[in-house]
Amino acid sequence: MRKSPGVPRDLLFLVVYCQTMPYSQFYKDKTILVTGGAGAIGRNLVEKLARLRAGKIIILDNLSSSCIWNIPDYQNVLFFNGDIRDENDLKRVFHHRPTVVFHLAAFFANQNSVDYPLVSEDVNSRGMLKLLEYCVISGNIERFVYTNTEGGAYGSDCTMPYREEETSLRLGSPYYVSKMAGEAYCWFYHNHYSLPVSVVRLFNSYGPGEVPGQYRNVIPNFIWWAMKGQPLPLTGNKTISRDFVFVNDIVEGILRSGFFPEATGTPINIATGQETFIYELAELINLKTSNPAGTRILQQRKWDTREKIIGNNEKCRRILQFAPAAMLDTGLDLTIAWFHKNRENIDRNAAFFPGLNPALDV
């Protein structure tokens, strides 16, 4: 019997690749602005866009919470060290006539905003408003994607798991309030100026690319302390849990929300729907880093009023046609491997000052 010639492996790979990434051709050759593109999520988004062969990826970032060594080095990536609040910087980047804008720049995050509420408001609300104005004036924007945080929509009185329809004004920190304002401005520009806006509500992101620091997330800080042999501080009791999303899935959600037409004009959760207890996370990180120091319980932070934060991802599955995977074990391995690879840079840039944040007084 004659064997059929079969499909070449490379072609097969390309077909599967394009099917799993419906946007794989969409971003090709486009000029794309990524504000906050040097940050933890932004640098991963930029890297993926570069690999998708976007024409030009313009990063606008003032490096206030990120590092130059962490910016992906590709020919089609153009870095502007500038501020979203600065007219000249906005003129410089809009001069390139981007058609897609991913707005990730933000004053990050809760404790930082409690310590510096005016800066939080200035960057996350006023800065965003300026950016939206430029998008409208440019008349060139096919899609504007805003990365809200779940906490900028769901307050302490919302039903768990959080659904997009039920929001609340009982928001725990100035950061959440300023991010909520950002989403509200998005809907105004969408309705009034017909700006095609997509809003994703991100749950806890983690993964390679996030440098630990005073105001950073729990996972990079736990890994950093564990690698130094320090006990991991648990703020609150053992019932505190979160929905952790690996950064590649966060990026996937952002790219899909910039692509699907149905994703405009409506907020979408990027969540796994899976619950991880923080004390279990700490034990797992201690195990993976061979840290014998264990954990220690600290007082709960006053703004941190929600024990459980879990997202419903039904809308993400329906509109964006994918669901972030619950892959904490593998995700942590990849993150720890990134720490080992970048240890020198991370040690140089991780900044912790005792005093303001009780979780840091180790």
Ligand X SMILES: NC(=O)c1ccc[n+]([C@@H]2O[C@H](COP(=O)([O-])OP(=O)(O)OC[C@H]3O[C@@H](n4cnc5c(N)ncnc54)[C@H](O)[C@@H]3O)[C@@H](O)[C@H]2O)c1
- What residue ranges bind ligand X (CB under 6 A)? 35-36, 38-42, 60-66, 83-85, 104-108, 123, 127, 147, 149, 179, 202, 204-205, 217
Q: Which is nearer to ligand X, 35 or 264 (CB)?
A: 35
Q: Which is nearer to ligand X, 134 or 291 (CB)?
A: 134
Give the DSSP letter string of 7-49. Answer: --HHHHHHHHHHHH-TTTTTTBT-EEEEETTTSHHHHHHHHHH
Q: Which is nearer to ligand X, 54 or 245 (CB)?
A: 245
Provide the phi-psi class of 209: left if phi over 0, else alpha when psi is between -120 and 50, else beta: left
* Whole-Å CA distances, 306 to 7, 51, 281: 53, 38, 17
Q: Which is nearer to ligand X, 83 or 164 (CB)?
A: 83
Task: Report CA torsion sign: 134, 251, 276, 294.
Answer: negative
Residue number, nearest CB to ligand X: 39
As measured in angstroms, the least distance from the Cβ of 69 to ligand X is 13
* Whole-Å CA distances, 86 to 56, 98, 108, 128, 232: 22, 18, 19, 11, 39
As measured in angstroms, the least distance from the Cβ of 120 to ligand X is 10
As measured in angstroms, the least distance from the Cβ of 177 to ligand X is 12
As measured in angstroms, the least distance from the Cβ of 232 to ligand X is 18
As measured in angstroms, the least distance from the Cβ of 123 to ligand X is 4
Q: Which is nearer to ligand X, 81 or 321 (CB)?
A: 81
Q: How many CB atoms are located within 10 Å of the residue 130 CB?
A: 16
